[in-house]
Structure 1
Amino acid sequence: MLVLMGTGMNMGLALVLTGAGMAWVLDFWDAQLLAQNLVAGVDSFPLLAVPFFILAGELMNSGGISRRIIDMAQA
Protein backbone atom coordinates (compact mmCIF):
# COMPACT_ATOMS: atom_id res chain seq x y z
CA MET A 1 0.00 0.00 0.00
CA LEU A 2 2.82 2.40 0.81
CA VAL A 3 4.37 1.72 -2.59
CA LEU A 4 1.09 2.51 -4.33
CA MET A 5 0.65 5.69 -2.29
CA GLY A 6 4.28 6.58 -2.97
CA THR A 7 3.55 6.57 -6.69
CA GLY A 8 0.93 9.27 -6.13
CA MET A 9 -2.11 7.01 -6.23
CA ASN A 10 -5.26 8.04 -4.39
CA MET A 11 -5.34 6.62 -0.85
CA GLY A 12 -8.77 5.02 -1.27
CA LEU A 13 -7.79 3.29 -4.49
CA ALA A 14 -4.54 2.10 -2.89
CA LEU A 15 -6.55 0.57 -0.03
CA VAL A 16 -8.92 -1.18 -2.43
CA LEU A 17 -6.10 -2.55 -4.57
CA THR A 18 -4.18 -3.70 -1.50
CA GLY A 19 -7.25 -5.48 -0.15
CA ALA A 20 -7.95 -7.11 -3.51
CA GLY A 21 -4.32 -8.18 -3.79
CA MET A 22 -4.35 -9.74 -0.33
CA ALA A 23 -7.63 -11.51 -1.10
CA TRP A 24 -6.02 -12.95 -4.23
CA VAL A 25 -2.83 -13.98 -2.39
CA LEU A 26 -4.74 -15.59 0.47
CA ASP A 27 -7.18 -17.28 -1.96
CA PHE A 28 -10.15 -15.46 -0.42
CA TRP A 29 -12.09 -14.78 -3.63
CA ASP A 30 -15.41 -16.36 -2.68
CA ALA A 31 -17.99 -13.81 -3.85
CA GLN A 32 -20.38 -14.48 -0.98
CA LEU A 33 -17.66 -14.01 1.65
CA LEU A 34 -16.42 -10.83 0.00
CA ALA A 35 -19.93 -9.37 -0.11
CA GLN A 36 -20.59 -10.39 3.48
CA ASN A 37 -17.34 -8.80 4.67
CA LEU A 38 -18.07 -5.59 2.77
CA VAL A 39 -21.51 -5.28 4.34
CA ALA A 40 -20.25 -6.19 7.81
CA GLY A 41 -17.49 -3.60 7.56
CA VAL A 42 -19.92 -0.79 6.78
CA ASP A 43 -22.73 -1.96 9.06
CA SER A 44 -21.41 -0.12 12.09
CA PHE A 45 -23.34 2.58 13.95
CA PRO A 46 -20.38 4.98 14.36
CA LEU A 47 -19.53 4.68 10.67
CA LEU A 48 -23.12 5.42 9.71
CA ALA A 49 -23.51 8.22 12.26
CA VAL A 50 -20.69 10.36 10.86
CA PRO A 51 -22.09 10.88 7.33
CA PHE A 52 -25.59 11.44 8.69
CA PHE A 53 -24.22 14.01 11.17
CA ILE A 54 -22.54 15.81 8.28
CA LEU A 55 -25.77 15.62 6.26
CA ALA A 56 -27.75 17.09 9.17
CA GLY A 57 -25.25 19.95 9.38
CA GLU A 58 -25.53 20.64 5.66
CA LEU A 59 -29.33 20.61 5.84
CA MET A 60 -29.32 23.00 8.80
CA ASN A 61 -26.87 25.26 6.98
CA SER A 62 -28.90 25.37 3.77
CA GLY A 63 -32.11 26.00 5.74
CA GLY A 64 -30.58 28.85 7.73
CA ILE A 65 -31.10 27.18 11.08
CA SER A 66 -27.39 27.07 11.85
CA ARG A 67 -27.06 30.86 11.45
CA ARG A 68 -29.96 31.40 13.86
CA ILE A 69 -28.44 28.98 16.38
CA ILE A 70 -25.11 30.85 16.25
CA ASP A 71 -26.88 34.21 16.58
CA MET A 72 -28.79 32.94 19.61
CA ALA A 73 -25.60 31.59 21.21
CA GLN A 74 -23.81 34.91 20.71
CA ALA A 75 -26.67 36.93 22.24
Structure 2
Amino acid sequence: MSTRDRARRTREHSAAGGRFSRYDLLLLVIPAAFLLALVGSIVSPLPARVFVAGASVVGALAVADGLFVNPPKRGR
Protein backbone atom coordinates (compact mmCIF):
# COMPACT_ATOMS: atom_id res chain seq x y z
CA MET A 1 0.00 0.00 0.00
CA SER A 2 1.42 3.37 -0.93
CA THR A 3 1.67 6.38 1.32
CA ARG A 4 -0.78 8.20 -0.92
CA ASP A 5 -3.46 5.55 -0.28
CA ARG A 6 -2.89 5.80 3.46
CA ALA A 7 -3.17 9.58 3.38
CA ARG A 8 -6.40 9.36 1.38
CA ARG A 9 -7.89 6.84 3.81
CA THR A 10 -6.88 9.04 6.75
CA ARG A 11 -8.59 12.05 5.20
CA GLU A 12 -11.71 10.01 4.48
CA HIS A 13 -11.77 8.70 8.04
CA SER A 14 -11.31 12.12 9.62
CA ALA A 15 -13.95 13.70 7.38
CA ALA A 16 -16.51 10.95 7.95
CA GLY A 17 -19.22 12.67 9.95
CA GLY A 18 -16.82 14.77 12.03
CA ARG A 19 -17.28 12.43 15.00
CA PHE A 20 -14.58 11.00 17.18
CA SER A 21 -13.84 7.31 16.81
CA ARG A 22 -13.50 4.99 19.77
CA TYR A 23 -9.72 5.16 19.46
CA ASP A 24 -9.72 8.96 19.41
CA LEU A 25 -11.63 8.90 22.69
CA LEU A 26 -9.21 6.38 24.18
CA LEU A 27 -6.34 8.68 23.26
CA LEU A 28 -8.14 11.55 25.00
CA VAL A 29 -8.76 9.53 28.17
CA ILE A 30 -5.07 9.01 28.92
CA PRO A 31 -3.96 12.66 29.18
CA ALA A 32 -7.28 13.59 30.81
CA ALA A 33 -6.58 11.08 33.59
CA PHE A 34 -3.16 12.61 34.22
CA LEU A 35 -4.59 16.13 34.12
CA LEU A 36 -7.14 15.12 36.75
CA ALA A 37 -4.30 13.56 38.76
CA LEU A 38 -2.46 16.88 38.67
CA VAL A 39 -5.53 18.79 39.83
CA GLY A 40 -6.23 16.19 42.51
CA SER A 41 -2.70 16.37 43.85
CA ILE A 42 -2.95 20.16 44.08
CA VAL A 43 -6.27 20.32 45.93
CA SER A 44 -5.88 17.21 48.09
CA PRO A 45 -3.60 16.52 51.04
CA LEU A 46 -2.83 13.07 49.61
CA PRO A 47 0.59 12.60 48.01
CA ALA A 48 0.87 13.07 44.25
CA ARG A 49 2.04 9.48 43.78
CA VAL A 50 -1.43 8.25 44.74
CA PHE A 51 -3.03 10.24 41.95
CA VAL A 52 -0.32 9.39 39.43
CA ALA A 53 -0.73 5.70 40.23
CA GLY A 54 -4.47 5.98 39.68
CA ALA A 55 -3.98 7.82 36.39
CA SER A 56 -1.50 5.14 35.31
CA VAL A 57 -4.06 2.42 35.97
CA VAL A 58 -6.69 4.32 33.98
CA GLY A 59 -4.24 4.80 31.10
CA ALA A 60 -3.22 1.14 31.15
CA LEU A 61 -6.87 0.07 31.08
CA ALA A 62 -7.52 2.37 28.12
CA VAL A 63 -4.57 0.92 26.22
CA ALA A 64 -5.60 -2.65 27.08
CA ASP A 65 -9.14 -1.93 25.89
CA GLY A 66 -7.92 -0.47 22.62
CA LEU A 67 -5.46 -3.28 21.91
CA PHE A 68 -6.99 -6.44 23.34
CA VAL A 69 -10.67 -6.02 24.24
CA ASN A 70 -11.74 -4.00 21.18
CA PRO A 71 -8.80 -4.19 18.75
CA PRO A 72 -8.82 -2.30 15.47
CA LYS A 73 -10.32 -4.22 12.57
CA ARG A 74 -8.43 -4.72 9.32
CA GLY A 75 -9.71 -2.75 6.39
CA ARG A 76 -10.91 0.23 8.41
With normalisation by structure 1, the TM-score equals 0.34
Q: Which structure has the higher relative contact order (CA within 8 Å, separation 6+)?
A: 2
- Which structure shows the higher helix fraction? 1
